[in-house]
Structure 1
Amino acid sequence: MMMLNRFCTFGLAMILTATTSSMVVANAAEVADAENANAEAKTVDVFGEGELKVPSQFQATKPQSGIIEHEFVAKSTENEKATARVTFMAAGGDIQANIGRWKGQFSGGAADAQKSEEMKVGKWNVHIVDVSGKFQERMGGGPFFGGKTVERENYAMTGAIIVHPEGRKYFVKMVGPAEVVSENRAAFVQMIKSINK
């Protein structure tokens, strides 16, 4: 009986070791796949007529919503835990109404930090929007309805509406802690301007 118990214990240990080893291999493969995806995700196609060159410091991640086409993470060099979402999607609606909606998601920010500018980048009309303050983040339910609202203090957004000559619109937004958005704003704007290159 004692020999049988030892045999069973040994067998169980071998099974656990094999299972753990295969889990480590699987996890290593998943990490490698994620790194390869990040390495390959250098551009985002816009209507088949332009490409946005994504900064190397933005890391590809799975979109949190089905309406988001691509999503990346922007980080802070000062605080590794602080991140901002960078999202890409085709959308519609009036430009000023969308800008107003974006601004309406924030309250209490410094007046001089709330701004928008329009520019021409090749054949594209581009609207860049900056807003900050307390962010009303909707958790689930989409951008226009449903879902729980969570207040995020000291948040900011730099967003862009890229307008095709035929009127189609493409939205790119970076939303997160104000210091992360500020640190990555120049790279974000450079990415938006790359649509014509």
Structure 2
Amino acid sequence: MKRFAPLCLGLVVLTAFSALAEEKTAEEKKPATITFSEGQLEMTVPEGWKTIKPRVNIIEHEFRVPGANGDEDSGRVTMMGASGGVEANVLRWKGQFTKMSKDAVEKEETISNTPVHIVELTGDFKDQRGPFAPAEVKEGYTMLGAIFTTEKQGEYYLKFYGPSDTVEKNKEKFMEMVNSFKIK
């Protein structure tokens, strides 16, 4: 009987740690809510997108999206406030491509009584790691963008780019994030 006591204790401890690990894993998979514009706006981040430190200070939130099967590069999602207008920023996004493989898709929706401009671009993307860094051209990339033109908080830009397969695999999640936009 004395031999079984340590074994039973070990099994109890192992079971407890396993249950805690499963609980933590389930929590990590729950979609997170982010706030921006000093807490006035919010969105839900899709499950599986990892929050990372933004590369540059003007970006409020940044996420890494796991690459689709065969994609070495992961996708990058950024959220930031800016100005300049919808048209100028869409032109700037188009200028980040050296060659477009299909025409840009642009549409306007209304979410939480806010005009939202949705943009999809595909082609060879100039991936620039910072304002003065040299760009590396990445073939076969797609960019999805959403421009929220709020009445009181100004414009906010949600941009997702990466290998086309990765973006296509996560397009529905991106649109779920866009549609989760709320003004508090």
For the superposition of Structure 1 and Structure 2, which TM-score range results when normalised by the shorter chain?
0.7 to 0.9
Whether the 8 Å CA contact 1:43–1:52 is kept in 2: the answer is yes
Q: Deviations over 1:3-49 (max 9, x none)?
A: xxxxxxxxxxxxxxxxxxxxxxxxxxxxxxxx8x9668711213233
Task: Name the CA shift for 1:77/1:126 in 2 (closer, same or farther; >3 Å).
Answer: same
Structure 1 residue aligned with 2:167, among 181, 187, 191? 181
Task: Name the CA shift for 1:38/1:61 in 2 (closer, same or farther; >3 Å).
Answer: farther
Distance in 2 between residues matched to 1:187 and 1:153, nearest whole Å: 23
Q: Which residue of 2 aligns with 1:31?
A: none
The code of the aligned residue for 1:85 comes to R
Q: CA deviation at 1:75?
A: 1.5
Q: Which residue of 2 aligns with 1:130?
A: 120
Distance in 2 between residues matched to 1:179 and 1:80, nearest whole Å: 7
Unaligned runs of 5+ in 1: 1-34
The code of the aligned residue for 1:101 comes to R
Distance in 2 between residues matched to 1:161 and 1:50, nearest whole Å: 13
Structure richer in helix, relative to its length: 1
Q: Which residue of 2 aligns with 1:93?
A: 84
Structure 2 residue aligned with 1:153, among 114, 139, 142? 139
Task: Name the CA shift for 1:54/1:68 in 2 (closer, same or farther; >3 Å).
Answer: same
Whether the 8 Å CA contact 1:123–1:165 is kept in 2: the answer is no
| Sequence identity (%) | 32
Q: Deviations over 1:38-70 (max 9, x none)?
A: 668711213233311000121111111121111
Q: CA deviation at 1:84?
A: 0.5
Structure 2 residue aligned with 1:51, among 42, 55, 65? 42
Distance in 2 between residues matched to 1:103 and 1:41, nearest whole Å: 31
Distance in 1 between residues matched to 2:127 and 2:89, nearest whole Å: 16
Distance in 1 between residues matched to 2:55 and 2:28, nearest whole Å: 17
| Structure 1 stretches of at least 4 aligned residues deviating more than 2 Å after TM superposition | 37-41, 46-50, 79-82, 107-112
Unaligned runs of 5+ in 2: 1-24
How big is the alpha-carbon RMSD for the aligned residues of Structure 1 and Structure 2? 2.4
Aligned residues: 158
Secondary structure class of the residue paired with 1:64? coil
Task: Name the CA shift for 1:69/1:41 in 2 (closer, same or farther; >3 Å).
Answer: farther
The code of the aligned residue for 1:105 comes to Q
Distance in 1 between residues matched to 2:134 and 2:168, nearest whole Å: 27
Whether the 8 Å CA contact 1:73–1:85 is kept in 2: the answer is yes
Whether the 8 Å CA contact 2:102–2:123 is kept in 1: the answer is no
The code of the aligned residue for 1:192 comes to V
Structure richer in strand, relative to its length: 2
Structure 2 residue aligned with 1:164, among 140, 144, 150? 150
User: TM-score by structure 1 length?
Assistant: 0.72
